[in-house]
Structure 1
Amino acid sequence: MLLICGWALLVGGAGAVAALALLRLIGLVTNIVFYQRWSTSLVAPGLEHRPWWLVLGAPVAGGLVVGLMARYGSEKIRGHGMPEAIEAILTGGSRVAPRVAVLKPVSAAISIGTGGPFGAEGPIIMTGGAIGSILAQALRLSADERKTLLVSGAAAGMAATFNSPLAAVLLAVELLLFEWRPRSFVPVVAAVGVSTVVRGFLLGTAPIFPVAASGLHAAPTVDALCAVAGLLGGALAVAATWLVYRAEDGFARLPFHWMWWPAIGGAVIGLGGLIEPRALGVGYDVIEQLLTGRATVSLIVGILVVKTLIWSLSLGSGTSGGVLAPVFMIGGAVGAAEGLLFPHVIPGFWAMMGLAAVVGGVMRSPLTGVVFTLELTHAWGAVLPLLISSTAAYALSALVLKRSVLTEKIARRGLHLTREYSTDPLETFFVEEVMERRPLLLAGQESPEGAIKITKDAADTAGGGQCLLPVLTDDGVPGMVVTHDRLLEATSQDAAAHGRTTLADVCEPSPVILRPDDTLRRAAYLFAEHGVTEAPVVSHGPDAQVVGTIALRHLLHARRHDLTEEHHRQRLIPGQRRPRPDSVPA
C-alpha cells in the first residue's frame, strides 16, 4: 500500500495539471470559434449575440471532427468518460491506451468549445485515469494496483476541476473502485490531496459557486418540501436518463456509420442554441446565477427545457463530453423553478436542492450529490436539506429505472454489474457450521478394491468421480486424501500388474486443508486458488485429526441463508390473540 501511495502522489499532481490543461484548451477553442480571438479564459459561447450560422454550424463542425477522431484515432474517446473508465477497470485489467490520454481531452475540448452542452469532468476522469493507468503499465504491478492508480488519477482530475476533494473521493468509491479497502482508499485520498493542493496554486482555493448561507435556517416544513424537491428532481433525472438512451437507440438505427452521429448531435445542439444561447458550452456562469438566485424566469425555463433536450439527445450521439456540469445546470434550473413557488429560505437554496437531487438521481450517487453541492457552494448549513433531496431522488430513480445513466451504457455492452455493497455472506459462516461432520475415513492398509466397495454410496452421493476420501496412514499425518477416480485408476493398475497396492501407496497430501474456524470466504478463495472442489477439515493442536470434509456445494449454505434473510418475512413478537367466543368470561 505504501508503495502505491508514493506513486499516487505523482499521479495526483499530474491529474491537477491535466485538469488545468483541459480547462485552458476548452477556453482556447471557445474563444477561437465564437469570439475569433486567441485566449484561454473560460467563457460562455452564448454570452454575447453570435450570427445564427455560427451558432448552428459550429457544433456540427465540432461533432464531425470528434467523429473523425473516434473512427481513426480511438473509439474509446466516444461518450462521457465514466462508463469507459468503469469498463477499463472491470474488463480491461485497468489498462488504458496512451493515445486515449491525448485524444480524449482534445476531442472533449473541441466538442465543448464548439458549443457542446457538456462538462469537462468526464473527459478529465478518463484523462486522469489514463495517466494513472499508463504509469502503472510501465511498472510491475498487479491489476488491482493498476486499478488503484487509474482511479487515483481520475479522482485527482475531478478534485482539481471543481476544488472538491471529498466529493472526488466519494465518487471514486461509489462509481469506480467497487471496493472499500485501505489498499485502494488510502492511495486515492493521497492523490486527491496532492491534486487539491496543486489546484490551489494553479486556480485558487475559493469555492466554484459561492453561496451566502450565513442566515440559513430550514424549518421542518422546509425539510418536508425538500423531499418534494428531491422527488421532482428524481423525476427529471429519470426522464433525462430515459431520453439519453432512447436517443442512443435512435442513432443506432441510422443507415450510416457512427462516425457521422456526433455531427447530427451537433445540429441538435445548434438548433437549441438558436432558442437559448446560454444552454451552449459548460455553463459555469449559468450555474452560478442559478445557485445565487440571480437567474431570470426566462433563463430558468430555457435551461430547464433546452439544456435537458440538447444534452440528452447529443449525448446519445456518442460525442465526447462530461455529464456533471450539465446535470448541475439542469438540477439548478429545476430547483430554481421550484423556488418560484416554495417559501424563500436564502437566495439559491432551492437551486441547491435541485442540483443535489438530479445528481443523486442521474448518477445514483446520493452522497456524492450532497458533498458536491456543499463543496461547490460552501453552504455547510444545508447538509440535512441536501441529504433529504438527494436521497429522495435516488430512491425514485432506483424504483423506476433498473440502471443509471452510467451503468446502462455498460450493460448495453454485455457487462451487467451492481453497485450495491453488502457484507459477503461467506464471511459470516465458519467451516464447522456447514462441513460434513461424519467423514468416511479409510485405513492406509485398505486395498483400492475394498475402498471402492466401502465408498460406493459416498461416491454416488457426491456426484460420481470427485468424492474426496480422507486416509489414515500409519504415520498419523492428517490431510492425506484419495479421490474416487484415483481408486479406479489404482484398481486397473493392480489388475494389469497382478500386484498388491494399498491406499497408503496412492493417497497424497490434500492441496487445501481447512480448519473448523476458517470462514467460508477463505474456503472459497483456497478452492479457487488451487482448483479443487473439496478439502478435509483438520482440527487444531498437536493431536490434530480430520473432523470433517467440506465441498463446494456446502458454500451455497451461506447464499441460501442470505436469500432467506432477504425474502422470508415472519412475525417474531406475536400479536395478542383475540379470545375465543366460548372462553369469554360471563
Structure 2
Amino acid sequence: MTEQVDPDSPSAAENATDGSHDHTLEPEHFPSRRKTFDMRVVVLTLLAAAIGVAAGGAAIVLLKLIGFITNLSFYGRLSTSFVSPQDNQLGLFVLIVPVIGGVLVGLMARYGSEAIRGHGIPEVMLSVLRNQSRIPARVGILKPVSTAIAIGTGCPFGAEGPIIVTGGALGSFVGQFLSTTDEERKILLSAGAAAGMSATFGSPVSGVLIAVELLLFELRPRSLIPVAVASAMAAALRRLSAAPWPMFPMQQLQSSGMAALVSYTLIGAIVGLASVGATRAVYAVSDAFARLPIHWMWWPAIGGLVVGIVGYILPETMGVGYVNIVRIFSGSLTEKALIMLFLLKFVSWAAALGSETSAGTLAPLFVMGGALGAALGGGASMLFPQFGIDLRIAGIVGMAAMFAGASRALLTSIVFAFETTLQPLGLLPLLCGSSAAYMVSSLLMETTLMTEKVVRRGVFVPTEYTADFLTQTLVRDVASREVVSLAEHLTLAEVRTRITQGWPGSSYQGFPVLNDRGQLVGVVTRLDLLDPTRKPTELVGDLTIRNHAVIFEDNTLSEANALMVREGVGRLPVVDHDNNRKLIGIISRRDIMSARHRRMEQEYERQQGIRW
C-alpha cells in the first residue's frame, strides 16, 4: 500500500481500479531490456567472418615468412618451406644468428613500435582492458614481421602469439573504421585473435575458448557467435593450404585404467608446479634485464646469445619446435633426451622471453610440458609397470597441463590437446591432469604468465566469470511496498510543515505524486518542495515532473540500476505492467546496494559455517 500526507488518498490508492491510462508515460522512460540477439549481432558476425578469412590468410603468410627467414639464416637458400633450424651445419656460427635477429627486433621495437615487445597475448589483453580494444595498425604489421625474424633466426618461440596479435589488430582496425562501440570492437578483436589461433594449429574450438578465457572475459551469445564464426572460417582456410591430418598426429591411444588416471593426475600436478616456476623465472629474468645499464633495445640481442649457446649444445631447442612435439607423442625419445629437451628449452625460452623480444610463447610451453610429462610418465612406468602408463598420454597431459598452469585457460588447454591430436581417449587423462595443474598454479601464484605483465601496469584482470547478482534478482524481491507519496492537491506549506515535524519521508529526495483517484501522475523532488522561491500556496501538482522514469516488478535490479543512471535519479516508482499509473512500490539505489550487501553477507556466513 502507499502512505500519503493527504488522509483521503490512501483509500483512493487502494481502491483505484478504473485502469485509466491518462498521461501515458513516454517509452524512453521505461526500463530498456537488452536483446540477447539482434540484427547488429548479425552484422558483427558477417564482419567477423571476413576478419577470420583475413586472419587465416595472415597466418599463412607469416608461416611462409618464418620459413623463408629460417632457410636463409641457417641454410643459405631461398625457400618458404617450413623447416627446423636443428639440422643446420653452421657450427659455432650458430651463436651469431640469434644475436643478429635480436638486434633487428630491438631496432624495430625502438624505432617502429615498443608494443611489439613480448609474446603478444598480454599486449592484446591490455588493449582490451585499458585501451578500448584499440590496437594500432602498425603493430599488426610490425609484430608478425619482427616475430618472423626472431623465430627465423632461431629463437625458441611459436608463431601463434603474433598471429593472435595480427588477427586482433585486424578486428580492432575494422571496429575503429566502422565507429563501433567499445564492446563491439572487443568482440571483433577477439574474433581476429581466435582466428589467428585457429589458423595456426587448425584448432577452431580452442581458438574460441582462448578468446573467451583470456580476452572476452564473458560468455554471451552476442560475443560468442561472431568469434566462433571467425575461428571456423580461419580453420577452413587453413585446410586449403595444409594437410588434412591433425597438427600433432599420433597412433591410436588405448583407454586408461584407474591407476593410470591417478598417475596422469599427479603428473599434471607436477607439471603445474613447473609452470609456476617457469612463470616466475621468466619475470625474474625480465627484472634482471631491467637492471642492466644499457637501453632495452639491446636486450633481445643478449637473449639471442643465450639462445645461440643453448642451440649449439642442443639444436632441437631452436625454432618453433613442432617437430619435437610430434616426436614426444610418438614415444621415440629416450628419458635422457626428454629431460635435456625440457631443461635446455626452458633456459633458452626464459632468456629470450625475459629479454622481451618479439615472440609467441604457446609452442615452447607445449614442448616443455610435453617433454616433462613424457619424462615423468617414463619414470613412473619404470617404477610401477603394472599401472599401464602410456608415455604418449603422459606427454599430451604434460603439454596441456603446462599451458593450463601458466595461463589458467583450463578449457582451452584440454580442447587444444584434443583438437591437435584427435585422440578422444586422451580426454579423460587431459581433464584430470590439466585440472590438477590449474589447481596447483592457483594455490601458488596469484597471477599467470599472461597476466603478470598486465597486473604490473596497474590493470585489474578478471579471473572469474559469474552471472551478476543484480541480473538474477527481480525488483519485486527488493522494492518497498510501504510508499511515502504525496497528493497533487497539497500545498507546499502543508508539505513543508510535515517535513519540519519529522514526517516519515522527511529525509527522502523524491516522492511519487498521486491524483484524487490514487493514480501515479509524476514525481516531485525535495529540492523543488523546499525551494524558497516557490510560494507556500503553490500546489504539489504544479511542481510535479510528469514525464518520469518508472520500473516494473519483473525487471531485474541491473535494469533498475541502469535506468537510475540514465535518468539521473536515485529512486524509481514501481508500477503495474497493465496499468502504468498504478503505483505498487518504490525502489531506491540504497535498496539495490543493500540487496547486494545481504548476498555477500550470506555467502560469507555460509563459508564461515563450513568446518573442514
Give yes or no for TM over 0.5: yes
User: 1:394 maps to which residue?
Assistant: 438
The CA deviation at 1:206 is 1.1
Q: Which residue of 1 aligns with 2:153?
A: 114
- State the alpha-carbon separation in 1 of the partners of residues 358 and 281 from structure 2: 17
Say whether 1:356 aligns with 2:400: yes
Map 1:49-448 → 2, pairs under 5 A:
49-52=89-92, 54-214=93-253, 216-343=254-381, 344-346=388-390, 348-448=392-492
Q: What is the match of residue 5 of structure 2?
A: none
2:83 aligned residue: 43
Letter in 2 for 1:176: L
Alpha-carbon distance, 1:437 to partner = 2.6
For the structure 1 residues 99 and 473, does the alpha-carbon distance in structure 2 shift closer, same or farther, using more than 3 Å as the test?
same
**Is the 8 Å Cα contact of residues 234 and 361 (structure 1) preserved in structure 2?**
yes
Q: What is the DSSP-based 3-state SS (H/G/I as helix, E as strand, rest coil) of the residue aligned with 1:441?
A: strand
Report SS of the residue matched to 1:358. Answer: helix
Tell me, in whole angstroms, the C-alpha distance in 1 between the residues paired with 2:500 and 2:324: 78
Gaps of 5+ in 2: 1-40, 382-387
Kept in 1: contact 2:74–2:88 (CA 8 A): no
Name the structure 2 match of 1:581: none
* Letter paired with 2:434: S
**Contact 1:510–1:536 (8 Å) recurs in 2:** no
From 511, 522, 534, give the equivalent of 1:469. Answer: 511
> What amino acid is aligned across from residue 197 of structure 1 in structure 2?
A
Report what 2:573 is aligned to. 536
SS of residue paired to 1:34: helix
Seen in structure 2, the aligned counterparts of structure 1 residues 197 and 529 have a Cα distance that, compared at 3 Å, is same
Cα 1:308–1:549 change in 2 (3 A) is same
- Give the AA of the match of 1:508: I
Q: How many residues align?
A: 565
Quote the Cα distance in structure 1 between the aligned partners of 2:81 and 2:362: 20
Asked if 2 retains the 8 angstrom alpha-carbon contact of 1:238 and 1:400, the reply is yes
Measured after TM superposition, the shift of residue 277 of structure 1 is: 2.1
Q: Could you say which residue in structure 1 is the equivalent of 2:542? A: 505
State whether structure 2 residue 593 is matched by structure 1 residue 549. no
Go from structure 1 to structure 2 and tell me whether the alpha carbon gap of 1:138 and 1:480 turns closer, same or farther (over 3 Å shift). same
Which residue type is aligned with residue 224 of structure 1?
Answer: V
User: Which has the higher relative contact order, 1 or 2, with Cα contacts under 8 A spaced 6 or more apart?
Assistant: 2
Rate the CA distance shift 1:457–1:177 in 2: closer, same or farther, 3 A: farther
Distance 1:417 1:559, change over 3 A: farther
**Cα shift at 1:169:** 1.2
What residue ranges of structure 1 are gaps of 5+ in the alignment?
575-586
The alpha carbon displacement at 1:145 in A equals 1.9
- The 8 Å contact of residues 169 and 189 in structure 1, kept in 2 or not, is answered as yes
Per-residue deviation, 1:505: 1.7
- Over residues 243-281 of structure 1, what are the superposed CA-to-partner deviations in whole Å (9 max), with x where a residue is unaligned? 122222222333333222222222232232233221111
Aligned-partner SS, 2:586: strand
Contact 1:59 1:263 in 2 (8 A): yes
1:569 — aligned with what? 606
Name the structure 1 match of 2:33.
none
- SS of 1:204's equivalent in the other structure is coil
Matched residue SS, 1:38: coil
Take 2:397 and 2:389, find their aligned partners in 1: how far apart are those partners? 12
Q: Deviation of residue 112 (structure 1)?
A: 1.1
Distance 1:84 1:449, change over 3 A: farther
The code of the aligned residue for 1:339 comes to G
2:70 aligned residue (30, 35, 45): 30
Supply the distance in 2 between the matched residues of 1:407 and 1:512 (Cα, whole angstroms). Answer: 42
For 1:297, the aligned partner's letter is: E
Contact 1:353 1:385 in 2 (8 A): yes
What is the CA–CA distance in structure 2 between the aligned matches of 1:38 and 1:325, rounded to whole Å? Answer: 25
- Amino acid corresponding to residue 285 of structure 2 in structure 1: A
Q: CA deviation at 1:564?
A: 3.2
Indicate the percent of aligned positions where both proteins have the same amino acid.
41
- 1:272 and 1:24 map into 2 onto residues whose CA distance is 25
Q: Would the aligned equivalents of 1:67 and 1:261 in 2 still touch at CA under 8 Å?
A: yes
CA distance in structure 2 between the partners assigned to 1:231 and 1:306 by the alignment: 22
SS in 2 for 1:348: helix
The answer to whether the aligner puts 1:8 opposite 2:48 as a matched pair is yes
Query: Quick one: distance in 1 between partners of 2:119 and 2:512?
Result: 57
Alpha-carbon distance, 1:380 to partner: 1.4
Which range moved further: 188-197 or 310-319? 310-319
Equivalent of 2:528, from 486, 498, 512? 486
Aligned residue for 1:240, secondary structure, equals: helix
- In structure 2, the partner of 1:583 is none
**Following the alignment from structure 2 to structure 1, what is the Cα–Cα distance between the partners of residues 550 and 399?**
55
Following superposition, the deviation at residue 111 of structure 1 comes to 1.1
Q: Once the 2 structures are TM-superposed, how far is the Cα of residue 459 of structure 1 from its aligned partner?
A: 9.8
Matching residue's letter, 1:11: I
CA distance in 2, matches of 1:461, 1:255: 68
Counterpart amino acid of 1:418?
Answer: P
Separation in 2, partners of 1:419, 1:79: 22
The Cα of 1:476 is off from its aligned counterpart by: 5.8
